[in-house]
Structure formats: structure tokens, C-alpha cells
């Protein structure tokens, strides 16, 4: 009788680069967010002219205020970039300072957006007024919720950096938030262009 070949099973654990799965998982999350915003933009594109005999963009939007709000978010992206540069140079204090400035701009953006929503609702142009306003509040409000979540995340990371320093885990977290923050900037440029600028034409 022939002898059966001996099978050797690999028992040594595989070694993966620390944090590799975190980066891949976060990119998957961002892609899912892209799909969600694509659906919201498509919905707004279909409903943007459905005013139900109510007010339209020209009657409601204050472009100067929206431009200031846009500047707040764009400045926050720049200051976050400075925070990443400081992090790469292992400058903890400078990193925290730039993160604090970023948080200020992010909260300023949210404050202006909440003021705009309150003003529209006060005028009787709430989300229930027309399909256009429902789509508007859903799209802009979803983006605003993302910014609010990013601000909470930012505060959490500032506490982590202040307590534990710029360790590898905190650097990975800061880079993930950097992707998320810049992603929100790109989405807002789309909102500003499609919802506000084209709506005023």
C-alpha cells in the first residue's frame, strides 16, 4: 500500500501592518457615504422645481450668508491640513492648536446653518412646505449632521492627543478624520454649486 502524503498546516499567525484594516474599512465607509449623498443629490435634482406654489430659491436664499458659511468650512479644511503637518513633525501643542482652530470653524459653519434653517422655518418655508424644501432640508441637513459628528470626533481626538500624545494609534485616527473632513468639504462644494448657485439662476 502506498503511503499517504503528509499534510503540513501553517500554524504561524499572519502579520498584517498595524492599522491596515482600519484604513481599508474607513475607505469603504466613505464610499458608502458617497452613494448616500449621490442619492440625495439625485432626489434634489428631481424635486428642485416642485415649489407647490410656494417660495423658491430666489425668494429664500441669502448667497452672502451661504458664501460666508462656505468660507468657514473651507478654512477649516486648511487648518486641519496644518494640524496634519504639525502631527507629521511630532509637534503635539501645535497639532492641538490647529485642531482647536478647525473646531472653531466647524462650529461656526454649524451655527450659520442652524440660523439659516431657523430663518426659513420662521418664514413658513419648512421642510413640509413643498417637495423642493423637503429635498433641500434633507440634503443640507444630512451634510450638517456629518459636520456635527465630525466636530464631536474632533473633540474626542483632541482629548486623546492631549492625554496620550501623538502615538501611532492617534495618528491613524487623525488621518481618518482628515479624510472625512475633506470629504465633507467636497460634498459642500457640490451643495453650494447645485443647490444655491444654480438655484439662483
CATH number of the CATH domain containing 177: 1.20.120.80
Q: Work out the burial of residue 121: count CB atoms within 10 Å of its CB; fewer than 13 is exposed, 13-18 middle, 19 or more buried.
A: middle
Q: How far apart are CA 84 and CA 17, in angstroms?
A: 21
Give the global pTM: 0.88
- Using the 8-state DSSP alphabet, how is residue 193 labeled? I
Looking at residue 118, what is its pLDDT?
Answer: 97
- Residue 16 belongs to a domain: no
- Residue 13 belongs to a domain: no
- Residue 34 belongs to a domain: no
Number of domains in the chain: 1
Considering only CA atoms, give the Rg of the chain: 23
Domain boundaries, position 127: 59-200
In the predicted model, is pLDDT for residue 136 greater than 80? Answer: yes
- Residue 27 belongs to a domain: no
In the predicted model, is pLDDT for residue 5 greater than 60? Answer: no
> With contact defined as beta carbons under 8 Å apart, do 86 and 98 qualify?
yes
Looking at residue 20, what is its pLDDT?
Answer: 57
pLDDT digits (tens, 9 = 90+) for 46-67: 999 999 999 999 999 999 999 9
- Residue 147 belongs to a domain: yes
In the predicted model, is pLDDT for residue 19 greater than 90? Answer: no
pLDDT digits (tens, 9 = 90+) for 67-119: 999 999 999 999 999 999 999 999 999 999 999 999 999 999 999 999 999 99
Number of neighbouring beta carbons within 10 Å of residue 129: 19
For 163-175, what is the mean pLDDT? 96
Chain mean position to CA 73: 10
For 135-155, what is the mean pLDDT? 98
For 157-163, what is the mean pLDDT? 98
In the predicted model, is pLDDT for residue 15 greater than 90? Answer: no
CA angle 185, 190, 196 (to 5 degrees): 115
CA torsion angle 170 176 181 186 (round to 10): 160
pLDDT interval class at 23 (50, 70, 90): confident
- Residue 141 belongs to a domain: yes
- Residue 163 belongs to a domain: yes
- Residue 164 belongs to a domain: yes
Amino acid at each position: 500500500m502506498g503511503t499517504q502524503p503528509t499534510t503540513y498546516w501553517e500554524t504561524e499567525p499572519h502579520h498584517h501592518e498595524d492599522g491596515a484594516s482600519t484604513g481599508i474599512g474607513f475607505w469603504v465607509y466613505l464610499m458608502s457615504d458617497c452613494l448616500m449623498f449621490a442619492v440625495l443629490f439625485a432626489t434634489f435634482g428631481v424635486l428642485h422645481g416642485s415649489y407647490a406654489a410656494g417660495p423658491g430659491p430666489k425668494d429664500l436664499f441669502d448667497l452672502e450668508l451661504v458664501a460666508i458659511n462656505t468660507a468657514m468650512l473651507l478654512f477649516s479644511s486648511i487648518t486641519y491640513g496644518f494640524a496634519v503637518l504639525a502631527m507629521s513633525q511630532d509637534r503635539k501643542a501645535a497639532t492641538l492648536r490647529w485642531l482647536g482652530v478647525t473646531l472653531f470653524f466647524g462650529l461656526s459653519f454649524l451655527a450659520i446653518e442652524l440660523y439659516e434653517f431657523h430663518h426659513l422655518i420662521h418664514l413658513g418655508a419648512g421642510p413640509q412646505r413643498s417637495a423642493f424644501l423637503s429635498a433641500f432640508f434633507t440634503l443640507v441637513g444630512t451634510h450638517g449632521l456629518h459636520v456635527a459628528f465630525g466636530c464631536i470626533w474632533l473633540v474626542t481626538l483632541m482629548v486623546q492627543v492631549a492625554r496620550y500624545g501623538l502615538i501611532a494609534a492617534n495618528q491613524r485616527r487623525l488621518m481618518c478624520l482628515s479624510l472625512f473632513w475633506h470629504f465633507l468639504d467636497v460634498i459642500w462644494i457640490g451643495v453650494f454649486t447645485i443647490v444655491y448657485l444654480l438655484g439662483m439662476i
